[in-house]
């Protein structure tokens, strides 16, 4: 294999020689570190699909962290390694190191996390080549043999794939997620609105969501409009639903089952939400989305294909209802 870059990538002096001694067919052991919550976890699926295609004879191990295992793409890997996370502060340093070393010796090690825990895991794992995409240039020689630039201006799922591009792999486009889920069937076609996020700072005002749902219910009477409630106490949707009185095609819904939630999203004609894991799941389910951005970097979470739109303002202000409504109508037609 060659290292295919002039700009945008970095390699230490030994990396080129080692890469030339390897071919995709003779790579036998590959490990991928991905320590992330469910929304970021599902964005790993295209990388693992392409990894399998590029290295057909390799056994693939996925390293997770104990406090983030939900939504892990276990169907795409051969082995799972779980490092101790923040939920296991009772574990001694000796046991943490021993668990880290259980990942074993690898031909290739890909770090898709770039966190302090993943850096230590890179240090403690033997591999012929270690690849990553850290934000800071000083981290490259400390932990990796090869690195690509990490950018908030690139959809993160594509940014991760650049670690395969640098080895000479051309991935498919649009990206393949192959989520193992069947779409939910309901009496009418339906759109889903998810007004929550991981923090309140990311949430579009409920009054704006209420107005949007009202306008959509009137514009698309043949659709069911489902307002999905989050699991935390502060994520209740009572105020949004109160504004929908008399609208028979608006439904408030709370699902405690994760698989059922994914099935609901898979079957939707549209998902409208803040920058949140639910929207990333919709992207992975190939459900069109409208994302609402005013805190997080929009281009990092906005795939420019597949009917996905992003509502944002150039001054980072809060998008108004008319902008979001226009994008939802653009998708539904």
% residues pLDDT > 90 (the chain): 97
- Give the pLDDT band (50/70/90) at residue 30: very high
Which pLDDT score, from 0 to 100, does residue 162 have? 97
pLDDT > 90? residue 256: no
Residue 136, CA distances (Å) to 122, 133, 144 in order? 16, 9, 12
What are 18's strand-pairing partners? none
Structure pTM? 0.95
User: How far apart are alpha carbons 110 and 164 in whole angstroms?
Assistant: 10
Q: Quick one: average pLDDT of 255-267?
A: 95
On the question of pLDDT at 15 being above 90, the answer is: yes
- Residue for token digits 């609402």? 292
- The domains found in the chain, sorted by start residue, are 9-165 (3.40.50.2000), 190-332 (3.40.50.2000)
Confidence (pLDDT) at 7: 87
Q: What is the mean pLDDT of residues 219-240?
A: 96
Question: 193 φ, ψ to 5°?
Answer: -120, 120
Q: What radius of gyration, in Å, describes the C-alpha atoms of the chain?
A: 21
Backbone angles phi, psi at 314, to 5 degrees: -65, -25
Q: How far, rounded to the nearest angstrom, does the alpha carbon of residue 245 sit from its chain's CA centroid? A: 35
Q: What is the mean pLDDT of residues 234-255?
A: 96
């Amino acid at each position: 294999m060659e290292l295919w870059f002039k700009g945008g990538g970095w390699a230490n002096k030994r990396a080129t020689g080692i890469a030339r001694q390897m071919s995709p067919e003779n790579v036998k052991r590959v490990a991928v570190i991905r320590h992330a919550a469910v929304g970021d976890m599902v964005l790993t699926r295209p990388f693992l699909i392409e990894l399998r295609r590029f290295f057909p004879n390799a056994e693939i191990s996925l390293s997770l962290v104990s406090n983030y295992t939900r939504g892990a793409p276990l169907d795409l890997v051969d082995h799972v390694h779980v490092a101790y996370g923040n939920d296991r502060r009772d574990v001694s340093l000796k046991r943490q190191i021993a668990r880290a070393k259980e990942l074993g010796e690898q031909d290739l090690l890909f770090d898709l996390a770039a966190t302090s825990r993943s850096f230590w895991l890179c240090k403690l794992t033997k591999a012929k080549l270690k690849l990553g995409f850290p934000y800071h240039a000083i981290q490259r020689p400390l932990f990796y043999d090869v690195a690509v630039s990490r950018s908030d201006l690139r959809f993160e799922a594509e940014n991760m794939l650049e670690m395969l591009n640098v080895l000479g792999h051309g991935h498919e486009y649009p990206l393949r997620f192959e989520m193992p889920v069947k779409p939910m069937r309901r009496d009418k076609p339906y759109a889903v609105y998810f007004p929550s996020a991981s923090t309140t700072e990311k949430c579009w005002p409920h009054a704006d969501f209420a107005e949007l749902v009202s306008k959509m219910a009137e514009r698309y009477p043949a659709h069911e409009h489902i307002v999905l409630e989050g699991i935390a106490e502060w994520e209740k949707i009572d105020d949004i639903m109160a504004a929908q009185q008399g609208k028979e095609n608006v439904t408030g819904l709370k699902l405690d089952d994760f698989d059922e939630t994914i099935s609901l999203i898979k079957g939707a004609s549209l998902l409208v939400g803040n920058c949140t894991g639910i929207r990333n799941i919709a992207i992975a389910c190939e459900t069109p989305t409208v994302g609402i951005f005013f805190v997080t970097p929009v281009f990092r979470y906005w795939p420019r294909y597949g009917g996905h739109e992003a509502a944002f303002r150039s001054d980072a202000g809060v998008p108004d209802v008319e902008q979001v409504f226009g994008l939802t109508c653009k998708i539904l037609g």
